[in-house]
Amino acid sequence: MVRDASNRDTIGWREQADVAYAVRFGRRASWSTGVKRRRGGSPARSWLSFSAMPSVWPLLLRSRAQHHGDEAWHAFADGILAVSGICGWAGAIAVAPPSIEAMLGPMCRKEGLVPRSIVSPGAFLGATGNHGTSQIYRIDTGANRGAMAVVVGEVFDACQHRHRREHAGDRFSGQSDAELLLRGYLADGRAFLGHLDGAFAAAVWDPSRRRLALFNDRFGQRTVYLAQRSGSLHFASRLKAVLKSTGEAPKLSARGIAQFFSFRQMLGNDTLFEGVQTLPPAGLAIFDVATAVTNAGTYWDSRELFAASLDYRPTDAVDRIEAAFSASMRRCVDGAERLGLSLSGGLDSRTLLSAADSEQSLTCITLGIAGSMDVAMAIRAARCMNRPILHCCLGQEVLHDLEGHLRRTAQLTDGHFVSGCVVTSSLDEYRRLGVDVLLRGHVGELMHLDNAYGYSVRQDDATAPGEALNARLFQRLTSSLQPDPGEALFAKPYRRGIRSLAREAFDRSYKASDGLQPGAHRVAHLFLNQHVPHVTGRSMEKFRSLVTTRLPFLDADLIAAIMMMPPDHKLGDRVQAELIRRRAPALLNIPNANTGAAIGSGCLSTLAHQAIKRGLAKLGVPGYQPYERIGKWLRQDWNSTARRLLNSERSLDRGVLDRDAVARILDEHRTGRQNHTSLIMTMLAFEAGQQELLDD
């Protein structure tokens, strides 16, 4: 049994560091590892469990600093807002130092986080964060002298594109993605962008044409805000930087408020502020300084992923999916020295676990309250694959700092993301573990579209007429806020027309999928274009603040292969069950925490296990509890904080929410007369965002 981190007789140095990284959440965090080393011997197959008490966790290795440099370590030091980003400005008026400071200031919330910027007549570009995730480059000689670019994120296939450009005659000064995007875009423009694979946002300044081009990856994984004011274009990864740099007082958008409180996310390119938009997935916005006109559009159409004919030979279809999935996994783990996996008790992350190379080190992290089924199944799955796993237990630390978690989430997501505030409490653990690449299972929902949040598909949706499917999806997207408070939730300036504004926004997004058949494809297209950039992308900003985060399921070739499956094969767990069966069949026997049934179980068996799971959860049986209890916490531990924030004069003076309606909703939830969990968390996220963006 391991007693402390200095016990070298029991485990090797690497395992000692692993154990020492287990830190407490509330009362404790539990660490399990599947490998026990004897001195001078080979690994023995046995299990050791360790509950790290406060006296253990001060041991912190500086692996993150070694990976990204001292600049990154200073940025990560207290674990709050170290997000890399880009910003810039272009216009006919010369860029003055105050304008640069107004934009870079909100981007640098850290002492020691030094911004980098370059200025050219008519434009400036800036970058913050470590050099590994944000880069800036300028050409100083030749025909393109003065051209410059800035990028944040990763271009996955940079090597292939660099080789192609070299064959075309370009000479590169290094391995910078910024230089690659600059030279590639100047040479081939839109055509170059259509072949890129990655998770990035970038800007290119062409001094000869006096044009600024903004673009991002195919799926919009990196948010970019832009606003045009007085003949100039302002853009940034952080919304506050745009709001501050324009010099105008921000004005809330009724259309944005309608979307945020109806869908708990934005749709299209809208934000909560008038005159500020986001770049859409595969977006390309070109600002011409001479005319002060921005031409915005896309360089790639995600409808291409749905163009292939359906293949009704399931074995062949799964073979294609497996090949694309394997290629995506190899790309996602490439270069990782210390790989991490966010492992739940569900299906998507378990599929990633089954596909991980057994020869590569992998650390699993799971999150949940003590006794949750999610945690129990995640630990079983990790042990089945002989992988170490850290359980971040949601305890008193989470319950005692709701306001801190709300503020941190608002900082990382620009106040445009509704969160349960449980994930932010675990972020520092990735830093303490030294994970440099984290895998997450988002977008795996495309393989089981019947469980894809508000974009879920039912069996009869495949044949539903367009109008009927529209009505069903609108109802599903708004169902999380039931019971619906209606327009009475809002103060008079925003009360009239809120529902119609939400409906208009949804109809615009739905129209973008016109012509796609069957209905499951139309829903999947909406999921990719609305949920991925506005929910998945913003959620990933929380993790990217501390670690490179990659999504193996968000791959164009894989999605195209999935879409070739008949609609009924994309319902349930049959696709992922087959992927797991081919790689790690033992994982199939561990129940899915979402259903209580083994993966691949039939419909009747799944329904029976779901009923049993619900019954045991209500009885409080350990191992069958949910991974969080936000509704209960809002009635008890979080109640006073929620009341103080939402009933404060500062909140009510914003003139968005009705004072009496807010008090009634909080009281109904506290007494148990209604369950307003989703609505209260939405109101709290909105208020935290307004404080972050507007209040100094």
Q: What is the mean pLDDT of the chain?
A: 84
pLDDT > 90? residue 299: yes
Return the SS3 of 43.
strand
Return the closest-CA partner of residue 325 out of 345, 303, 355.
Answer: 355
pLDDT > 90? residue 690: yes
pLDDT > 50? residue 188: yes
pLDDT value, residue 106: 83
Percent of residues, the chain, with pLDDT higher than 70:
86
The enclosing H or E element of 342 equals: strand 339-342
Return the SS3 of 330.
helix
Q: Of 48-62, 117-131, 202-216, which range is least confident?
A: 48-62
- Which amino acid, 318? V
pLDDT tier, 400 (very low <50, low <70, confident <90, very high otherwise): confident
Report H helices in 396-437: 396-399, 402-413, 427-433
**68 vs 220, more confident:** 220
pLDDT value, residue 174: 86
CA distance 373 to 375: 5
pLDDT value, residue 459: 83
DSSP string, 21-38: T---STT-EEEEES-EEP
* 508-541 tens-digit pLDDT: 999 999 989 888 899 999 999 999 999 999 999 9
pLDDT value, residue 16: 28
pLDDT tier, 567 (very low <50, low <70, confident <90, very high otherwise): confident
pLDDT > 60? residue 26: no
* 77-128 tens-digit pLDDT: 333 345 689 999 999 876 666 677 778 888 876 545 667 888 888 899 999 8
CA distance 251 to 248: 9
pLDDT tier, 486 (very low <50, low <70, confident <90, very high otherwise): confident
Question: DSSP assignment, residue 144?
Answer: T
Are 549 and 440 in contact by the 8 Å Cβ rule? The answer is: yes
- Which amino acid, 422? V
pTM of this prediction? 0.87
Q: 3-state SS of 254-317?
A: HHHHHHHHHHCCCCCCCCCECCCEECCCCEEEEEECCCCEEEEEECCCHHHHHCCCCCCCHHHH
CA distances from 144 to 174, 258, 285, 657 (A): 17, 46, 21, 52
Range 17-36 burial, b when 16+ CB lie within 10 A, else e: bbbbbbbbbbebbbbbbbbb
CA distances from 178 to 133, 138, 151, 174, 461 (A): 11, 9, 6, 10, 44
pLDDT value, residue 421: 84
Are 139 and 147 in contact by the 8 Å Cβ rule? The answer is: yes
What are phi and psi for residue 190, nearest 5 degrees? -55, -35
What are phi and psi for residue 306, nearest 5 degrees? -110, 10
Longest CA pairwise span in the chain (Å): 75
What are phi and psi for residue 371, nearest 5 degrees? 85, 5
pLDDT value, residue 132: 59
pLDDT value, residue 422: 86
- Strands, DSSP E only, in 167-241? 198-206, 211-216, 225-229, 232-236
pLDDT value, residue 114: 67
pLDDT value, residue 98: 64
The residues near 372 (Cβ < 8 Å, ≥ 6 apart) are 593, 623, 625, 626, 627, 628
CA distance 408 to 521: 36
**260 vs 15, more confident:** 260
pLDDT > 60? residue 484: yes
Q: Of 14-18, 80-84, 184-188, which range is least confident?
A: 14-18
CA distance 505 to 474: 11
**112 vs 33, more confident:** 112
pLDDT value, residue 84: 85
Question: What is the rounded average pLDDT of the residues 577-582?
Answer: 96
pLDDT > 70? residue 204: yes
Starting at the edge strand that comes first in sequence, how are the strands of the sheet with 85-91 ordered? 116-120, 123-128, 85-91, 232-236, 225-229, 277-278
What is the Rg, in whole angstroms, of the alpha carbon atoms belonging to the chain? Answer: 25
CA distance 391 to 368: 8
- Which amino acid, 210? R
CA distance 128 to 107: 7
Question: What is the rounded average pLDDT of the residues 320-340?
Answer: 94
| 391 strand-pairing partners | 30, 366
